[in-house]
Amino acid sequence: MKAPFPVARTSGGFSLIEIAIVLFIVALLLGGLLPTVSSQIEQQRRAETRKQLDEIQQALLGYAITKGYLPCPAKSASDGAEDRAGGVCNKRIGFLPWTELSVRNTDSWDRLYTYSATPAFTNSTTPFTLIKSRDITLKTRDSAGTLVNLSNANDIPAVILSHGPNGLFGTTVNGVVMANTAPSSKNVDDQSDNATGTATGMTFVNRDPAGPSNSMDVAFDDIVISLSPNILFNRMVAAGKLP
């Protein structure tokens, strides 16, 4: 009886070529998934920051109802107490006074919130009234890129903002300012103004990041929320603090 034909032995492992092909396929899959995952993370961070800003807005309303005035900006990047001397604030614009409001001091990118309030509304010696003038204006840009009023002129008591994902002109908890290295553009200028106010008055820009005039080298991505005078007055009246 003849012996059966010998059976060729096969290796249980992968060849280098097979491993290279698998790694190449995995790299392609990861390359396609990473932009999607990154976009989802940024969307989640923006949503969380907006939620925090809404909570800050409610905290400001509660503070005004309790005290009869709004808080001053914080003393520094490391001290969340309001910077007040007597009845007057030492700062016109600065960091959110997180200690006074019992809220988080940074956005989802770990940068401090910027806060500004009309001096007449932060004066603790002479509380504001229904006829007290505000001095903050919100602006946006139209389809031609021109700045236009988003609110009535000099109508906002206070504004709070996050400097967004790129953090331009924002400040870290260590007090480091995120400087801009890109050429000047409307987007850069608007974010710069949001960090300091403008030379002509307390004007802040609130724009849709996906809207017109946002296709330059540095995107506008600040997240801005304001304290509505109507809501503030209504809450104060309902609480018996006004008129």
pLDDT at position 196 is 86
- Report pTM: 0.81
Q: Which of 110, 111, 112, 129 is nearest to 120 (CA)?
A: 129
What is the dihedral angle through the alpha carbons of 156, 160, 164, 167, rounded to the nearest 10 degrees? Answer: 110
pLDDT score, position 200? 56
Percent of the chain residues topping a pLDDT of 70: 86
Q: What is the pLDDT of residue 145?
A: 85
**Residues with pLDDT less than 50, the chain:** none
